[in-house]
Chains A and B, each alone.
Chain A
Amino acid sequence: MVSAAVAFEAGAGSSLDLRGVSHRFALEGAPLDVLDAIDLRVGAGEFVALLGPSGCGKSTLLRLVAGLDPPSEGELFADGEPIAGPHPSRVVVLQDPTLYPWRTVSANVALGLEARGVLRAQRARVGETLRLVGLSEFANAWPHQLSGGMAQRVALARALVNDPKLLILDEPLGKLDSLTRLTMQGEIASLWRRAGFTALLVTHDIEEALLMATRIVVLSERPARIKADIRVEKPYPRHRGDPELVARRHEILGLLGFESAW
Chain B
Amino acid sequence: MSLISALPARAATIALRPAVAAALDHRTRAAALAFVAAAAWLLVAFVILRWPDLGDWGRGPELAWASVALAAILIVSGALAATGSTRLGRLQRATPWLIALGLVFSAWEAGSAKLGWLAQPFFPPPHAILEVFTDDWPKLGESIVASVKLELLGFALGAAVGFLVGVLLGRSRLFGYWVHPVLRLIGPLPAIAWLPIAFFAFPSSWSASIFLIALTTGFPVAVLTWSGVASVNPAYYDIARTLGASRAFLVFKVAIPAALPQVFVGLFMGLGASFAVLVTAEMMGVKAGLGFYLQWAQGWAAYANMYAALIVMSLMCTSFVSILFRVRDRVLSYQKADLKW
Residues of A within 8 A of B (CB): 1-2, 4, 63, 66-68, 85-88, 90-92, 94, 96, 98, 100-104, 111-112, 114-116, 138, 141-142, 144-147, 150, 158-159, 162, 168
Contacts and interface: CB of A to CB of B under 8 A. Distances in A.
A1 B245 CA distance: 9
Contacts of A158: 239, 243
Contacts of A146: 340-341
Contact of A145 (B236, B245, B254, B339): B339
A245 B282 CA distance: 81
A101 B334 contact: yes
B223 to A, nearest CB: 22
B245 A115 contact: yes
B238 A68 contact: yes
B260 A102 contact: yes
Given A4-B244, A141-B341, A144-B335, 6 more contacts: A1-B246, A88-B243, A100-B236, A115-B246, A141-B337, A162-B243
Interface string B242-276: 11111001000110011010000000000000000
A100 B341 CA distance: 18
Contact of B341 (A92, A94, A115, A145): A145
Interface of B: 233, 235-236, 238-246, 249, 253-254, 257-258, 260, 332, 334-335, 337, 339-341
B37 to A, nearest CB: 43
B258 A102 contact: yes
Nearest to A66: B242
A116 B244 contact: yes
A4 B235 CA distance: 22
Contacts of A115: 240, 243-246, 249, 253
Contacts of B239: 92, 94, 98, 111, 158
A112 B243 contact: yes
A91 B243 contact: yes
Contacts of A150: 341
Contacts of B258: 100, 102
A131 to B, nearest CB: 18
A86 B244 CA distance: 7
Dominant secondary structure of chain B at its interface with chain A: helix
B254 A100 contact: yes
A102 B334 contact: yes
A114 B241 contact: no
A116 B243 CA distance: 8
Greatest chain B CB density within 10 A among A88, A101, A115, A138 is at A115
B340 A145 contact: yes
B254 to A, nearest CB: 7
Given A86-B241, A90-B242, A96 B249 contact: no
Nearest to B237: A68
13 contacts: A1-B244, A86-B242, A90-B242, A98-B239, A115-B243, A138-B341, A141-B337, A144-B334, A145-B337, A145-B340, A145-B341, A150-B341, A158-B239
Contacts of B260: 102
A2 B244 contact: yes
A68 B260 CA distance: 26
B331 to A, nearest CB: 9
Contacts of B332: 102
Contacts of B241: 68, 85-86
A86 B258 CA distance: 22
A26 B242 CA distance: 24
B235 A142 contact: no
Contacts of A85: 241
A85 B240 CA distance: 13
A142 B337 contact: yes
B17 to A, nearest CB: 42
Which 3 pairs between the two chains have the least Cβ-Cβ distance?
Answer: A88-B244, A112-B243, A115-B245
B244 A92 contact: no
A103 B257 CA distance: 9
Contacts of B339: 145
Contacts of B243: 88, 91, 111-112, 115-116, 158-159, 162
Given A114-B253, A147-B341, A150-B341, A98 B244 contact: no
B257 A92 contact: no
Given A94-B239, A98-B236, A138-B341, A162 B334 contact: no
A159 B244 CA distance: 11
Contacts of A145: 337, 339-341
Greatest chain B CB density within 10 A among A86, A87, A102, A162 is at A102
B246 A96 contact: no
A98 B235 contact: yes
Contacts of A162: 243-244
Contacts of B340: 144-146
A112 B253 CA distance: 12
A127 to B, nearest CB: 18
Greatest chain B CB density within 10 A among A2, A85, A94, A145 is at A145
Contacts of A144: 334-335, 337, 340
A94 B235 contact: yes
B72 to A, nearest CB: 49
B182 to A, nearest CB: 30
A146 B341 CA distance: 5
Contacts of A63: 238
B148 to A, nearest CB: 31
Contact of B238 (A87, A92, A101, A142): A92
